[in-house]
Chains A and B, each alone.
Chain A
Amino acid sequence: MRNWLYLHGRSFLRALHRLGEQPFGTLLSALVMGIALALPAGGYILLDNVASLARGVSGTPEISLFLDETPDVAAQTEDIQHKLKAEPAVASIRYVPRDEALRQLESNGLGDVLGGLAANPLPDAFVVTLRSDDPGVYDALTAKMRGWAGVTHVRLDSAWVKRLSALLELGRVVLLVLAVLLGLALVIVTFNTIRLQILTQTSEIEVSRLLGATNRFIRRPFYWFGSLQGILGGLIAVGAVWLGVVVLTEPVARVAETYGAVIALTGPNWQQSAAVVGFAAALGWLGAALSVRRHLRGA
């Protein structure tokens, strides 16, 4: 194991040395990879911002459960609250007694209309929010709640949830297609870079073979080279996305202000940044692996 790590360490340093030997070429390749990756990564971040923005503008989607009139209100309320807490998809539960609902309507300017009524016509209710944006989850839970004893009516404002979800889904598909196409391009870039590397290292490869190097030994530095180039490209992509966020934050906030909204763009968090860099490294490794297999058949 120690020897394996030592050999990988040497290959890593060798690859790093080769990257450093051609700083201009390395930078150019990393820039190509970085810019190509910044497009889907930036799109994903934009989508993320749009999703949270839409939630902020329209409010979190809620399900309202209106309860039957019953002599034992406390027992019924407790029973339904217990059922709601048992649902893993439920994020928050708020109980709205009928008197509070009436007060809310009065404060919304409907006091005159309600004043003409002999008694409070509003039922007790629960207002529930879910953890998911998935319309399927909303529909399934609503159907389930309708079957609960003591629930007279369930209301779900799902139209905008569905619309938003469909738009976000479309955005995700477009980004996925873009990511696959650009990923393919990056694999080709690395494939070609490694091909050139192999051509310049022919003498070293031949000598290593004569000295008893295995295929793995010969291929290892090229895998590291491809991965390192990918990591560099990934870092450039994350940097480019952050730069985009920094540049766009103020203009977007000014536009939002004219609509009476407050919008603050957020850049990728560390998990998203690590995912971009890791994805780029994997693409670099893949390009290197394909190239090495193609051009080092004899090795």
Chain B
Amino acid sequence: MIVFDNVVKHYPGGYTALDGVSLKIETGELVIISGHSGAGKSTLLKLIPAMERPSSGSVWLNDQDVSRLPRRAIPYLRRNIGLVLQENRLLFDRTIYDNILLPLIINGHPPGDAGRRVEAALDRVGLHGREREFPSGLSGGEQQRVAIARAFVNRPSILIADEPTAHLDPAYAAEIAELFNSFNSAGVTVLVVTHDVALFRHWSPRRLALAHGRLMEE
């Protein structure tokens, strides 16, 4: 369960990204967050893996106050959260296989088990057989699928994605949306920030809208 309790986030220079946001997301929900540019959507997502800290209020994840977590505990928190960013943040000097393997190495998985998980993840995103290729040889949609495989290979309980379909053509975007829905069907809590709410309408997700740092509708 994720709880935002009256969260305010100011950035240096006086810009307020979030202004008193309170919400509760139950385990296993599929949540779509929309809003205009600068509405605070990305900030909202970044507070969950402690990429940002709230200026006031608190963010709770399964009874753990993430906003007051000591620095040394943050890596362990992030290992339970799959993260897909707008820029896929792949390592272009490593193969697709090595990119997906990285979170498993970080998490200390034994090599044999890690290898099987990477293969399964590649299969899931439709890139089986291409593991020795480098990300630079893939299309935008394929790169995003590698990023998604990397996000869920560790079998996280929460998957958060910031504009995962932003630069993709409609066919690729629909494939990505389908992937997120399949994870949610497997019991993973999925939060997706997107401008393209229609992509997910088919699965009747819970919809949140942000405007000027405030939660406008739920």
A residues in contact (CB < 8 Å) with B: 2-3, 6-7, 10, 203-204, 206-215, 217
Smallest beta-carbon distance B109→chain A, Å: 9
- CB pair B102–A203 under 8 Å, yes or no, is no
Among the interface residues B51, B90, B91, B150, which one has the most CB atoms of the partner chain A within 10 A? B91
Q: Point out residues on B near A: beta carbons under 8 Å.
A: 49, 51, 72, 75-79, 83, 85, 89-91, 102-103, 105-108, 110-111, 150
Asked if A212 contacts B89 (CB within 8 A), the reply is: no
Q: How many A-B residue pairs have CB under 8 A?
A: 48
How many angstroms from the CA of A10 to the CA of B78 in the assembled complex?
A: 22
Instruction: Other than A6-B111, A204-B91, A207-B102, give 13 A-B pairs with Cβ distance below 8 A.
Output: A3-B108, A3-B110, A7-B105, A207-B89, A208-B102, A210-B49, A210-B51, A210-B85, A211-B102, A211-B150, A212-B79, A213-B75, A217-B75
Q: Which residues of A contact B91 (CB under 8 A)?
A: 203-204, 207
Shortest Cβ distance from B173 into chain A, in angstroms?
23
Q: Residue among A2, A7, A209, A213 with the most chain B CB within 10 A?
A: A213
Q: A206 and B106: CB pair below 8 A?
A: no
Q: How far is the CA of A215 from the CA of B105 in the complex (A)?
A: 14
Q: Is the CB of B78 within 8 A of A212?
A: yes
Q: List 20 A-B contacts (CB under 8 A).
A: A3-B110, A6-B110, A203-B89, A204-B91, A206-B89, A209-B78, A210-B78, A210-B85, A210-B89, A211-B78, A211-B102, A211-B103, A211-B106, A211-B150, A212-B77, A212-B79, A213-B75, A213-B106, A214-B72, A214-B75
Please give the distance in Å from B87's CB to the nearest CB on chain A.
10
Question: In the complex the two chains form, is A210's CB within 8 Å of B83's CB?
Answer: yes
- Nearest A residue to B104 via CB reads A211
Asked if A10 contacts B106 (CB within 8 A), the reply is: no
Interface residues of chain A: helix, strand, loop or mixed (majority): helix
Inside 8 A of A209's CB, which chain B residues have their CB? 75, 78
The interface residues of chain A lying within 8 Å CB-to-CB of B111 are 6
Chain B residues with CB under 8 A of A204? 91
Closest Cβ of chain B to A83, distance in Å, is 64
B105 and A212 contact, CB distance less than 8 A: no
**B-chain residues with CB within 8 Å of residue A210 when the two chains form the complex:** 49, 51, 78, 83, 85, 89
Does B78 contact A7, Cβ atoms closer than 8 Å? no
Are A212 and B51 in contact, CB atoms less than 8 angstroms apart? Answer: no
Across the interface, do B106 and A217 meet the contact criterion of CB distance under 8 Å? yes
Cβ distance B144 to chain A, nearest Cβ, rounded Å: 15
**Given the complex, which residues of A lie within 8 Å of B72, measured CB to CB?**
214-215
Within the complex, which residue of A2, A203, A208, A215 is in contact with B106, where a contact is CB–CB below 8 Å?
A208
Inter-chain CA distance A215–B79, complex, in Å, is: 14
